[in-house]
């Protein structure tokens, strides 16, 4: 299944924005903690400074009363304050703490202390006149409620934010996808008007530029194809026309000749002309097939099953005359987009080979399976290992095993391969002993 780059971008955008939100939440959480801690310390210092002032102005008894007053008040936010006032002997004068914590009042030390088993508080100790020691501790304000509120804002706001990002990516992606799809369709369908519009479009953005460059490349390709076609037509015309005149002369000579031997030579000469024309056509067909490789334009649905069966039936009598055991097993209704005459030529060339290079009493087996996968195997002398890689080359005629006395210009398999590749297929020679085993199957990828 093809995966859309735009779906990837949408998913990545949503994931990235969610990750950024999480990071932002972590930073916010830390900041809230630090702010609460700073605020707590400041509250302790302010409380302590107030009590120091009271001691300075009212003495120890006044201080003890005020401490008792403060302990009697329960704050609304639940963040209770704790106090301890002791004399030089360590005897408690006022406050609710049972023991002096590990804080040095001589240096007005500040730090966290534990109150009971669970509660932690921020505290500062200090020395007062008369060798008194005062400790003020505040429990932190409950941060849960604050964090819940901020967290809710983050969750709701974050969801909306991620959804907006995903929606934006989706809409933007859909627009770009639509443009890319229309460019792709213009190339795929070979729509001349649309391609010309792409080639001449003003360069607005990167997609326009890519489409324009691709359309220009295609235009150059088409010009090359036109030049190729014109040249091959001229070559064909300039060779076939004089050959046609030559043939006409031979026909006249044949009509005027009473000499059977001379007549045989004239007939053979006409055969040479036809073979020369056949070679020329095969070369042009190879070139045309290679030039059109990968293009689907001009291909129509071809019933490969019916085509192969018809050709096999045509060869049946030849097999009987030659004494070959010729059999075929053809799966029905195998179709592919193609050029029927050219595909017929592939099957015929392979069968020709199997018939030409066989031995009396030999077997020839044709199998067509869905895929398509066409297999044509014989048990003739086969193809020498050294020749196997070269059998699809033009003008290559192996003579190690196949024998060099068979007619043909050595273009049959090269043409069959070129036609196969023009149809997105490939022709392979399988290692087999004895005989030759060719298969035609879709190109990989």
314 binding other proteins? (CB under 8 A): yes
Taking the least distance from each CB to other proteins, the nearer of 277 and 401 is 277
Taking the least distance from each CB to other proteins, the nearer of 31 and 318 is 318
**Backbone dihedral region of 108: left (phi > 0), alpha (psi from -120 to 50 degrees) or beta?**
left
Nearest distance in Å: CB 423, other proteins: 14
Q: ∠ CA 432-438-444 to the nearest 5 degrees?
A: 110
Nearest distance in Å: CB 286, other proteins: 11
Taking the least distance from each CB to other proteins, the nearer of 407 and 431 is 407
Nearest distance in Å: CB 250, other proteins: 9
Choose which of 185, 267, 384, 430 interacts with other proteins (CB under 8 A). 267
Nearest distance in Å: CB 211, other proteins: 31
Cβ-proximal residues to 124 (8 Å cutoff; 6+ apart), any chain: 41, 44, 45, 48, 103, 108, 109, 110, 135, 136
Quick note: the x/- pattern for other proteins over 244-263, rule CB under 8 A, is xxxxx--xx-x--------x
Quick note: the x/- pattern for other proteins over 397-416, rule CB under 8 A, is ----------xx---x----
Nearest distance in Å: CB 249, other proteins: 9
Choose which of 67, 86, 134, 288 interacts with other proteins (CB under 8 A). 288
Nearest distance in Å: CB 349, other proteins: 8
Report the greatest alpha carbon distance in the chain. 158
Q: Which one, of 56, 64, 43, 65, lies nearest residue 123 by Cα?
A: 43
How far apart CA 304 and CA 289 sit, in angstroms, is: 18
How far apart CA 182 and CA 176 sit, in angstroms, is: 10
User: Is residue 187 within 8 Å of 180, Cβ to Cβ?
Assistant: no
266 binding other proteins? (CB under 8 A): yes
Taking the least distance from each CB to other proteins, the nearer of 144 and 407 is 407
Nearest distance in Å: CB 238, other proteins: 8
Rg of the chain's alpha carbons, rounded to an integer? 48
208 binding other proteins? (CB under 8 A): no
Quick note: the x/- pattern for other proteins over 336-375, rule CB under 8 A, is ---xxxx-xx--x--xx--xx-------------------
- Cis before 434 (ω within 30): yes
Nearest distance in Å: CB 163, other proteins: 57
The DSSP output letter for 117 is: T
270 binding other proteins? (CB under 8 A): yes
309 binding other proteins? (CB under 8 A): no
How far apart CA 170 and CA 176 sit, in angstroms, is: 10
Pairing of strands 363-369, 325-330: parallel
Choose which of 8, 188, 203, 237 interacts with other proteins (CB under 8 A). 237
Taking the least distance from each CB to other proteins, the nearer of 146 and 262 is 262
Nearest distance in Å: CB 229, other proteins: 10
71 binding other proteins? (CB under 8 A): no
Nearest distance in Å: CB 438, other proteins: 16
User: Is residue 55 within 8 Å of 128, Cβ to Cβ?
Assistant: yes
User: Is residue 358 within 8 Å of 376, Cβ to Cβ?
Assistant: no
* Total number of residues that touch other proteins (CB under 8 A): 48
Choose which of 9, 21, 236, 330 interacts with other proteins (CB under 8 A). 236
The region of 83-91, 275-283, 385-393, 437-445 touching other proteins under the rule CB under 8 A is 275-283
User: Is residue 347 within 8 Å of 374, Cβ to Cβ?
Assistant: yes
Q: ∠ CA 433-435-440 to the nearest 5 degrees?
A: 105
CA-to-CA dists, residue 285 to 37, 44, 233, 361, 393, angstroms: 87, 98, 12, 34, 14
The region of 89-97, 194-202, 218-226, 274-282 touching other proteins under the rule CB under 8 A is 274-282
3-state secondary structure 408-438: CCCCHHHHHHHHHHHCCEEEEEECCCCCCEE
CA-to-CA dists, residue 271 to 266, 278, 342, angstroms: 9, 10, 23
Taking the least distance from each CB to other proteins, the nearer of 143 and 356 is 356
Point out which residues bind other proteins (CB under 8 A). Answer: 233, 236-237, 239-241, 243-248, 251-252, 254, 263, 266-267, 270, 273-274, 277-278, 281, 284-285, 288, 310, 313-315, 317-318, 321, 339-342, 344-345, 348, 351-352, 355-356, 407-408, 412
């Amino acid at each position: 299944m093809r995966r859309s780059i735009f779906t990837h971008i949408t998913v990545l955008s949503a994931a990235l924005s969610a990750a950024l939100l999480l990071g932002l939440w972590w930073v916010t959480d830390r900041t809230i903690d630090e702010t609460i801690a700073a605020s707590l310390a400041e509250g302790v210092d302010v409380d302590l400074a107030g009590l120091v002032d009271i001691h300075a102005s009212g003495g120890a008894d006044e201080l003890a009363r005020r401490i008792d007053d403060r302990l009697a008040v329960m704050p609304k936010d639940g963040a209770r304050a704790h106090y301890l006032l002791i004399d030089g002997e360590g005897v408690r004068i006022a406050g609710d703490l049972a023991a002096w914590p590990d804080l040095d009042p001589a240096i007005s030390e500040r730090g966290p202390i534990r109150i009971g088993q669970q509660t932690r508080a921020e505290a500062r100790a200090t020395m007062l006149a008369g060798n008194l020691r005062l400790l003020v501790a505040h429990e932190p304000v409950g941060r849960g409620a604050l964090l819940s509120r901020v967290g809710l804002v983050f969750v709701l706001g974050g969801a909306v934010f991620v959804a907006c990002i995903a929606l934006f990516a989706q809409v933007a992606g859909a627009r770009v996808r639509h443009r890319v799809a229309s460019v792709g369709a213009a190339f795929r369908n070979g729509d001349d008007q649309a391609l010309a519009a792409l080639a001449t479009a003003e360069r607005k953005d990167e997609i326009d530029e890519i489409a324009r460059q691709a359309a220009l490349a295609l235009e150059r390709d088409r010009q090359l194809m036109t030049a190729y076609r014109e040249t091959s037509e001229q070559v064909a015309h300039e060779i076939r026309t004089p050959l046609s005149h030559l043939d006409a002369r031979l026909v006249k000579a044949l009509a005027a000749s009473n000499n059977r031997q001379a007549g045989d030579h004239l007939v053979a000469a006409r055969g040479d002309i036809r073979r020369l024309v056949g070679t020329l056509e095969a070369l042009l067909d190879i070139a045309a097939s290679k030039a059109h490789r990968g293009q689907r334009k001009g291909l129509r649905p071809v019933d490969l099953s019916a085509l192969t069966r018809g050709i096999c039936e045509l060869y049946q009598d030849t097999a009987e005359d030659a004494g070959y055991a010729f059999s075929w097993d053809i799966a029905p209704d195998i179709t592919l987009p193609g050029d029927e005459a050219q595909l017929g030529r592939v099957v015929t060339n392979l069968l020709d080979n199997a018939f030409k290079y066989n031995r009396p009493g030999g077997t020839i087996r044709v199998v067509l399976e869905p895929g398509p996968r066409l297999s044509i195997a014989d048990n003739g002398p086969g193809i020498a290992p050294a020749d196997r890689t070269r059998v699809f080359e033009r003008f290559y005629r192996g003579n190690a095993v196949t024998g060099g006395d068979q007619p043909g210009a050595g273009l049959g398999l090269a043409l069959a391969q070129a036609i196969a590749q023009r149809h997105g297929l490939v022709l392979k020679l399988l290692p087999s002993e004895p005989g030759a085993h060719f298969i035609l199957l879709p190109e990989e990828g």
